[in-house]
A = this chain, B = another copy of it.
Amino acid sequence: MSTKKSWKMKIDGERRDYRTVWMEDDVVCLINQLLLPHRFEIYRSRSYTETADAIKNMIVRGAPAIGATASYGMAQAVLDYDAGFDGFRAYLDRVSLFFHETRPTAHDLFHAVEYIYNKVIESGDITEAREKAMKESLKYADDSAVICKRIGEIGENLIEDGMNVLTHCNAGALACVDHGTALSPLRMAHYNKKRIHVYVDETRPRMQGSRLTAWELLQEGIDYSIIADNAAGYFMSKGEIDLVIVGADRIALNGDVANKIGSYEKAVVARENNIPFYVAAPHSTIDLKCESGRDIEIEERNREEVLGMWGLDRGEGRIHKISTSPGGSNTRNPAFDITPSEYVTAIITEKGVHRPDKIRKLRS
């Protein structure tokens, strides 16, 4: 059985039948995002621990994609279970914790793990649990794709013909099961023949903008320019950006948004220039346990990410990891930041376009 379904990803000009993550029998399949845009390869994970590692090592990234991957990983864990069924709850608690510890910021991860946990935990026996795990993880991913499509349909109303749009990081199909969050309205606008141009922040340190967003837009034939993160403010001040749209890793009840490091700066500079700043994310990104952004744990990642970069030496055709700094340098490397709600024009979910001060009401 395969859960692979099409969002008809265009690769090298040809529409092909891919999602960012799917399951074939008990194998979780992922587009390997560490190798893009240089190589398109499918990573196959044969156990839940391997799947958790794939999240941790960022073979897959992006909040909704991490969520779907974790739901499939939970299913793998249920399929793998071979002790007496009376130990099932303790086992599933351990597995849940294992997934929780891969990435601390994205709320979709916790949401997905909890979703599968609750679906399978009351099963009468392991056979029933296995059936449910397979069915529900597929449903979770399918729903995620439908939600992202709906975000695109709703968000497209904000995109006018001829607009220049800035996006930060990758909140595209690669960050989700399909369609994307921030990129979904842009994709939809493009399908509907609106002419748009996207400024793509390259998004140091991991370059999700220049590696992944640029790759997606290139495949779709959407016009774009990669810019250094430092240049976003310049183009805003020049009147060359009409709208900013980003994704979210977690949204607090007061409308504060955790997203890729740098989002906060873009939001502040956007407001200073009277440019609307939109956040697009599934409703599940809202964390009922978070009153405000202050409650959100910010992941600090490996210092190596700031000390250098990896990429393709085009002459050689080989990927190298290079250092761009003196050996022995200290770094700080927060992976996310908090954009306070006052800088957020609106949050686009599958339920509509919401002012950030309406989030609490929406979620309750």
Within 8 A of B (CB), among A313-343: 313-316, 319-334, 337-338
Within 8 A of B (CB), among A261-317: 261-262, 264-265, 268-269, 272, 298, 306-316
Contact status A230-B218, CB under 8 Å? no
State how many angstroms separate the Cβ of A21 from the closest Cβ of chain B. 21
Contacts of A337 in B (CB 8 A): 230-231, 233-234, 237
Q: Is A37 an interface residue (CB 8 A)?
A: yes
State how many angstroms separate the Cβ of A303 from the closest Cβ of chain B. 9
Q: Counting chain B CB atoms within 10 Å of each CB, which of A38, A230, A307, A311 scores highest?
A: A230
Contact status A211-B324, CB under 8 Å? yes
Q: Is A207 an interface residue (CB 8 A)?
A: yes
Please state the number of chain copies in the assembly: 2
Interface residues on A, range: 35 or more
Contact status B269-A225, CB under 8 Å? no
Contacts of A228 in B (CB 8 A): 204-205, 229, 261-262, 306, 333
Contact status B218-A326, CB under 8 Å? yes
- Which residue of chain B has the shortest Cβ distance to A198 in the bound complex? B330
Contact status B306-A324, CB under 8 Å? no
In the complex with contacts A37-B325, A269-B268, A262-B229 CB distance below 8 A: yes
Cβ contacts A to B, 6 pairs, < 8 Å: A210-B329, A211-B325, A230-B260, A231-B332, A268-B268, A309-B311
- Spell out A's residues near B (CB within 8 Å): 37-38, 199, 202-205, 207, 210-211, 214-215, 218, 223-235, 237, 260-262, 264-265, 268-269, 272, 298, 306-316, 319-334, 337-338
